[in-house]
Amino acid sequence: MSPFALLDELYLEILNRQLDPDFVKTFLALLVGRSSVQGVNLHKDDAILMNVSEKELHIKLRRMRSLLKFKPFIDVYHKSFLDFLQDSSRSGLYRVSKQGGQKRYLELIVDSVVRHVSMAIEQPDCHETCHSSPQFQSVVRTYPSHIDLPVEDWQEALKSLLDFQDKLLNTSKPQPCYVTQAMRDLLLQLAVLQRDSHPITAAEVPLSVTNATVTETSALLVKEARQNVVENDLDSCLSLLLSCLPKTNSVLVVDAAIIDHMTSLLAFDYTEVAAGVRSVSNAQRMIDVIGLLTNNETFLSQCGADAARKAAYLASEIFNRMPLLPCSALNKPTCLSEASVRFVIEVSPHALCIVLPSSCAS
């Protein structure tokens, strides 16, 4: 007989008499998850993550008082209950592994963020005075994240947020707050984790083509761009550029057509162009091509520093709407392996830059 047999029998008896077993199972997963994550005062988010009031949370868990203490906050009386939950041979259907707990904790964070941002979009006037300051923001804003899960679990946990991105691009940008920043941090965490799974390669055009196009003057390109603007509206110019870009993670070739279409597009106001990018896949492709163009000698020779600045401002505006990074910047594991990496898109006089802390810049 197991030395824990009597204790386990007591635990199971208490768990089996819960009025809302699904709610209790979710909370226990949250409890295991936040107990295994480094963070301060994470318990303050319990009601928010469970999508109930503090009072309702206590009511729903009232039959767990022999296992959980309620003051100063809800927690286990003894670590032995967490050990019980993480051992399938003891807890059976109530088993919550450390990984399973962290994944459920992450899912609850994502659900909370989606609810909040949806409210911010639907009720912008109410969101102007948002004072929400969840404790989980400290968990998701550092890299590597304190939630130590494989990329597949991150992808599954963030599915509802990923599905939500296109809606965000097609609505007015919500007022910034701690929760909207947490949303951006979550998406950046996933982008970094996916860097090895989504490589992108830049390829220059053949030298003969480059030499031929470099001889064209900037003035001629500007004149042609203006003619294109007269003949095509913004959406047409954007569609022409996107049609030249690969839809998959294949080699991206910076050629004369891409440069020409980008030059035409830059004749428009960059905020209007960014507003015309209405899907995450297109936003990512725009960020990628701008990251390459603003560091491309042919583009700089033909179009000049002013066009490069406009392109960088366009990328910055897209980034403000949706936190996407050039895939080329994510293929640098030596820069991304340090703790507490923070990403900022900066517009320099000539290029789009991904700025990392000095400790990561080597």
Residue type for 190, please?
L
Q: Quote the pLDDT of residue 327.
A: 66
Query: Among 287, 312, 72, which residue's Cα sits nearest to residue 198?
Result: 287
- Distance separating alpha carbons of residues 103 and 32, to the nearest angstrom: 10
The model's confidence at residue 338, banded by pLDDT at 50, 70 and 90, is very low
- Distance separating alpha carbons of residues 40 and 100, to the nearest angstrom: 21
State pLDDT tens for residues 111-148: 999 999 888 888 877 666 677 889 999 999 887 788 99
State pLDDT tens for residues 159-196: 999 888 877 777 776 777 889 889 988 988 887 787 64
Are the C-beta atoms of residues 139 and 145 closer than 8 Å to each other? yes
Coil, strand or helix at 46 = helix
Alpha helices in the chain (DSSP H): 5-16, 21-35, 46-50, 54-60, 79-85, 88-91, 98-122, 124-127, 137-140, 151-157, 159-169, 178-193, 207-214, 218-231, 234-243, 256-265, 270-276, 280-293, 297-321, 333-336
Q: Enter the pTM of the model.
A: 0.74
Does the pLDDT value for residue 340 go beyond 70? no
Helix axes 256-265, 207-214, angle to 10 degrees: 40
Q: Quote the pLDDT of residue 341.
A: 34
Q: Quote the pLDDT of residue 69.
A: 96
State pLDDT tens for residues 25-72: 999 999 999 999 988 899 999 999 999 999 999 999 999 999 999 999
Are the C-beta atoms of residues 355 and 344 closer than 8 Å to each other? yes
The model's confidence at residue 232, banded by pLDDT at 50, 70 and 90, is low
- Distance separating alpha carbons of residues 354 and 337, to the nearest angstrom: 15
